[in-house]
Chains A and B, each alone.
Chain A
Amino acid sequence: MMDQKRLIYPHRSYKKVNANKYVILKEILVLFFFWLVFTVFVDVFVKGLIQISQEVLDKVYSLEKSSIAHHKLLFWDVYYIVDFGKYPSSEVSLILIFLSFLGMIIFLKFPFIRGVSIFFSFVCFILFVSSLYFFFLPEKFPYSLASFSKIYVDTLLLSWINTGLLAILSVVFFPIKTVLKLSFLIAMYIVLFVIGVVKYVFVIITIKEYSHLFTPLMFFVFGPVIDFLFFLFLYGMFVNKVLNPTRKDIDNWRWVD
């Protein structure tokens, strides 16, 4: 015969969110509706980003104005900047082969904050492959600045949509008001928009000023990866600021069913 414990004290082991399934379902619908509206009109925001970026670029390069083109991506009308980039000389490619190889090894062996150093080793790896490519096959490089610009903006657009979806899934179960979750989505999109302008201008200037050799780096490192990093940063801040006050509110939590 086994006895039962007379009392099980509340403990974090079996703590869970005190939520009603219908409330959660309602929240999912609200958040998805917002995301759907954003998704439908995402090309409008992208167009805004392109116009701001063009204004910035026109200020930087007052003598040569860039132009804007557009194309169809699924059902969106996507705008992008058309400009011309530089090709690297063999000497520059050769120097970068050695430098990036050296960087790859140094960062791989760097003993501190290994996660970051291995990431930089990955950056050097991309640069190394690119330098090799431009040293041996410069004429075969498949992208102009205009075609890359189009791909970059398409990626950015799809990145925004996916990050929104990810953001919804990441906050939907939290014991906080729907309006706060919605605010997080809006704040995230504002930040991604601003970051998007900075990134896009940076990409265009880099390829225009320093050559196509950096194009792969712009795609693999300064593309969705940066968006995702900023998303994580914002998400972490949001959880810290918004969920901290919920800790002591006993109504938010349940312990044993």
Chain B
Amino acid sequence: MILALKFYMFFCIVLFGIYIVRHFVFTGNRLLGKQKISYGDILTSELPTVSVLVPMHNEEKVAEKLLNRLVKVNYPKDKYEIVVINDHSTDKTGEIIETFKKENPEISIKVMHRTTGNRGKPVALNDGLKIASGEIVVVFDADYLPSKDLIRNLVVNFKNPKVGAVMGRVIPVNSGKNILTKLLELERIGGYQVDQQARYNLHLIPQYGGTVGGFRKNLVVKTGGFKENILAEDTELTFRLYVNGYEVVYSNRAECYEESPEDWSVRGRQIRRWSTGHNQVMFSYIFKLLTSKHLSFFQKVDGILLLMVYLVPVFLFLGILDAVALFFLGEANILTYSYFWVISMMIGTFGNFAPFYQVVAGAILDDSPAKAKLLPLLFFNFFFNTFYILLGFKDALIGLVKKHYPIWDKTQRYGDT
């Protein structure tokens, strides 16, 4: 038994070691390496038709702000439409959308009120795809504030026929609100400014994030639309595209502001949902990824590590129990040598799964090194993230066994930004 416990400890150290090296390579590449510029920054050309899909469920606090931004974007009006899916809202979202449509006849706005069937983003997107007429579909969550050039910067990337989806950079707009929002900003910085850009630079797997991004409509429809029981439809689409020979472009220049959760319980539920969805995708795609002929060796390695991101905290939690057991069995020596704790804490200071040095690299590139003062608090966030990721993993596991998944839990909006 002791041998098994020691072996597990060794496994954890190797696993965390791999992640540390991976993120160190990302950080070095982002700070020193050749940066791959997205097509949006170097080309202007004839643009394809675009449908902007906005799924909304009880979004009365933020709906009008987003729609106001979307009608002002810099994109040819004859190639542009907005598709709003009012998904079982019980507040004034429906009225706000209809009023807005009447007040803006110069823009093609299609509205779909969903009152029957399942609720949730993937279902809403599938219904939206049925009435969307654009070649390219760009998705925004209702709490986002797109700039005028954002759609153009995203869509122009599809001039490359190999591109199946594009992802822009997400920046919290309410970061000064409280400690939580400040920490979430750090997570976003590490995740986008460094992690996503480095993965794009290194021809690995940048991730389509479900909002501030777009995809080819026919490709998604042809491959079955969004899987309605998967809570991370964005991650699922990323891997579906890669195993089918397409790629995702990350456009760091296509910045968009979002409202991040201001409340710990809201954030906890969001992480739990992400964990459930991401682990669902892991169960579905790990073998498809390994056997795909379209991916390079390094893309497969990165893909596996990406798929396992929400599984690592589960290994870590078991590692904690393992360490406690070894300690009481008189085997603390192995813990001394393995230095498990600091390694696990290193990976544990991942914000959006970016270790502290990656977060700092992002803050420096964003011209805001002062944000690094919050690093010790990010350390505590690791315990918070781990707790909710464990709950999400449990949901995914139950779903896998019982084929019954939790309903989409929408993130609460504040609308005060």
How far in angstroms is the closest Cβ of chain B from A98? 20
How far in angstroms is the closest Cβ of chain A from B270? 13
Cβ-neighbour of B268 out of A5, A14, A114 (below 8 A): A114
CA distance A124 to B44 in the complex (A): 59
Q: What is the total of A-B residue contacts with beta carbons within 8 Å?
A: 181
A199-257 contacts to B, CB under 8 A, are 216, 219-220, 223-225, 227-229, 232-233, 235-237, 239-240, 243-244, 247, 256-257
Asked if B363 and A17 make an inter-chain contact with CB atoms under 8 angstroms apart, the answer reads no
Asked if B324 and A126 make an inter-chain contact with CB atoms under 8 angstroms apart, the answer reads yes
With A159-B339, A224-B342 as contacts: A143 and B31 at CB distance below 8 Å: no
Asked if B41 and A5 make an inter-chain contact with CB atoms under 8 angstroms apart, the answer reads yes
- Chain A residues whose CB sits within 8 angstroms of the CB of B265 once the complex forms: 111
Cβ-neighbour of A228 out of B320, B379, B386 (below 8 A): B379
CA distance A129 to B380 in the complex (A): 21
Asked if B357 and A170 make an inter-chain contact with CB atoms under 8 angstroms apart, the answer reads yes
CA distance A206 to B35 in the complex (A): 53
Q: Which residue of A lies closest to B45 (CB)?
A: A2
CA distance A174 to B382 in the complex (A): 25
Report B311-347 CB contacts with A as 1/0, cut-off 8 Å. 0000000001001100111101101110101110110
Report A123-138 CB contacts with B as 1/0, cut-off 8 Å. 0001001000100000
Asked if A257 and B382 make an inter-chain contact with CB atoms under 8 angstroms apart, the answer reads no
Known: A142-B328, A236-B374. 17 other contacts (CB 8 A): A3-B44, A12-B366, A16-B33, A17-B32, A114-B267, A115-B383, A129-B324, A142-B330, A143-B332, A166-B342, A170-B357, A216-B328, A220-B327, A225-B341, A228-B379, A232-B378, A235-B360
Asked if A173 and B28 make an inter-chain contact with CB atoms under 8 angstroms apart, the answer reads yes
Asked if A236 and B32 make an inter-chain contact with CB atoms under 8 angstroms apart, the answer reads no
CA distance A211 to B148 in the complex (A): 66
- Chain B residues whose CB sits within 8 angstroms of the CB of A2 once the complex forms: 43-45, 159
B345-378 contacts to A, CB under 8 A, are 345-346, 349, 356-357, 360-361, 363-367, 369-370, 372-378
Cβ-neighbour of A225 out of B43, B267, B345 (below 8 A): B345
What range describes how many residues of B lie at the interface?
35 or more
- Chain B residues whose CB sits within 8 angstroms of the CB of A126 once the complex forms: 324
Asked if A122 and B383 make an inter-chain contact with CB atoms under 8 angstroms apart, the answer reads yes
Asked if A243 and B253 make an inter-chain contact with CB atoms under 8 angstroms apart, the answer reads no
Cβ-neighbour of B336 out of A15, A115, A151, A257 (below 8 A): A151
With A118-B384, A220-B324 as contacts: A239 and B364 at CB distance below 8 Å: yes
Asked if B339 and A162 make an inter-chain contact with CB atoms under 8 angstroms apart, the answer reads yes
CA distance A158 to B361 in the complex (A): 26
With A111-B264, A155-B335, A173-B28 as contacts: A233 and B376 at CB distance below 8 Å: yes
Q: Which residue of A lies closest to B325 (CB)?
A: A129
Q: Which residue of B lies closest to A3 (CB)?
A: B44
| A11 interface hit (Cβ, 8 Å) | yes
How far in angstroms is the closest Cβ of chain A from B361? 7
How far in angstroms is the closest Cβ of chain B from A208? 19
Asked if B342 and A115 make an inter-chain contact with CB atoms under 8 angstroms apart, the answer reads no
| A163 interface hit (Cβ, 8 Å) | yes
With A13-B252, A219-B332, A240-B373 as contacts: A173 and B32 at CB distance below 8 Å: yes
CA distance A216 to B329 in the complex (A): 12
Q: Which residue of B lies closest to A74 (CB)?
A: B337
B376-417 contacts to A, CB under 8 A, are 376-384, 386-387
How far in angstroms is the closest Cβ of chain B from A77? 16
Asked if A169 and B24 make an inter-chain contact with CB atoms under 8 angstroms apart, the answer reads yes
With A236-B375, A243-B364 as contacts: A115 and B34 at CB distance below 8 Å: no
| B42 interface hit (Cβ, 8 Å) | yes
- Chain A residues whose CB sits within 8 angstroms of the CB of B197 once the complex forms: 13
B30-57 contacts to A, CB under 8 A, are 30-35, 37, 41-45
How far in angstroms is the closest Cβ of chain B from A212? 12
CA distance A108 to B384 in the complex (A): 10
- Chain B residues whose CB sits within 8 angstroms of the CB of A142 once the complex forms: 328-330
Which B residues fall within an 8 A CB radius of A?
A: 24, 27-28, 30-35, 37, 41-45, 159, 169, 179, 183, 193, 197, 252-253, 255, 264-265, 267-268, 320, 323-324, 327-330, 332-333, 335-337, 339, 341-343, 345-346, 349, 356-357, 360-361, 363-367, 369-370, 372-384, 386-387
- Chain A residues whose CB sits within 8 angstroms of the CB of B378 once the complex forms: 232
CA distance A83 to B360 in the complex (A): 43
- Chain A residues whose CB sits within 8 angstroms of the CB of B366 once the complex forms: 12
Asked if B376 and A224 make an inter-chain contact with CB atoms under 8 angstroms apart, the answer reads no
With A16-B30, A155-B336, A166-B346 as contacts: A232 and B169 at CB distance below 8 Å: no
Asked if A158 and B339 make an inter-chain contact with CB atoms under 8 angstroms apart, the answer reads yes
- Chain B residues whose CB sits within 8 angstroms of the CB of A5 once the complex forms: 41-44
Q: Which residue of B lies closest to A153 (CB)?
A: B336
For this complex, 13 residue pairs linking A to B, each with C-beta atoms less than 8 Å apart, are A5-B44, A12-B367, A13-B252, A13-B253, A24-B32, A113-B179, A114-B384, A115-B183, A122-B320, A169-B357, A223-B341, A227-B342, A240-B373
Choose among B37, B366, B369 the residue with the greatest number of A CB atoms under 10 Å from its CB: B369
With A162-B339, A232-B349, A247-B369 as contacts: A14 and B43 at CB distance below 8 Å: no
> Would you list the 9 A-B pairs with minimal beta carbon distance, nearest first?
A142-B330, A115-B380, A239-B372, A13-B252, A114-B264, A115-B384, A236-B375, A243-B369, A118-B383
